[in-house]
Amino acid sequence: MSHQTPYLVFSGTNSRYLAEKICQSLDCPLGQMNIQHFADGEFSVSYKESIRGRDVFLVQSTFPNSDNLMELLLMIDAAKRASAHYITAVVPYFGWARQDRKDKPRVSIGAKLIADMLSTAGITRLITMDLHADQIQGFFDVPVDHLYASSVFTQYVKDNLPLDNLVITTPDVGGTKRASAYSKYLGVPMVICHKSRLRANEVAEMRVIGDVKGLDVLLIDDMVDTAGTITKAADLMMAEGAKSVRAIASHAVMSDPASDRVDRSALTEIIFTDSIPYSKKCAKVKVLSVADMFAESIRRICSNQSISSLYVI
């Protein structure tokens, strides 16, 4: 690889599609790695070129299964042992983020455990996007650049949705702060969905606080897993007299039967970023790329420039 750039970008197996787009935006080649798999499911990671004294950026989201996290940890350890100067983990989707506190007795705080594992492996910086809980940044003792997909989404909303008839909402009270930011930025009203759960991934009851009659509703969330909450919210909005319902969410976890639920729901469309690869077929799903945003962050970090101007809201 050419040594013209002050940094090298490498990718784990399942985030390669995004790393290639980031490198295209940076106008640099993607670094070559060798990942060898053994019969028992174990694997080993090695770099095909010298990274001694270089700043390396390792692109890998930690979405299920756990192999993606393990691969990232081995990439970090290998880079540390190969004498890389700085090791930045670029984790567009930070998994286990829903386990950010003890919400009942005798549970793990999984997000803190993952933070400790990444730090112990040897990262000097983390770049991530739309954490499920902002306070996870404080679980790290290294700098965390927490990007927001809002710059990508707000541009899409302005270009494609009727702002004069739009209302912002959130499928649960936890996302009120995020929805409020969109509401203020776009200058449109906001309503709230209140839900109660029987257990994880199962919504018991939901009701709308506010009026959506005759309006185009835009649901805002950070991630969609089984799509139970967001589709129930969409159907409820239509029952309350909404003209149409769309949704935007940063991370397309989309565990089965999410795609079928979205297909059958009242949603006109649901817009995600490409932080996680979405390969299932669903006509209502649209994917916007965040590669340029991550590329610009890498560029600015390497030249010691501020990245705060990348944040729209």
Q: Which residues are catalytically annotated?
A: 195
Sign of CA dihedral 182, 186, 187, 188: negative
Contact 162, 216 (CB under 8 A): yes
The residues, ordered by sequence, that sit 6+ positions from 106 with a Cβ below 8 Å of its Cβ are none
The residues, ordered by sequence, that sit 6+ positions from 96 with a Cβ below 8 Å of its Cβ are 62, 110, 111, 113, 114
Any long-range contacts for 252-255 (C-beta under 8 Å, 24+ apart)? Answer: 252/223, 252/224, 252/276, 252/278, 252/285, 252/287, 253/63, 253/64, 253/93, 253/223, 253/224, 253/225, 254/224, 254/225, 254/227, 254/278, 254/280, 255/64, 255/225, 255/226
Q: What are phi and psi of 220, to 5 degrees?
A: -115, 130
Strands 144-147 and 125-129 turn out to be: parallel
In the block, tokens 């190969």 appear at 82
Contact 118, 136 (CB under 8 A): no
Strands 7-11 and 285-288 turn out to be: unpaired
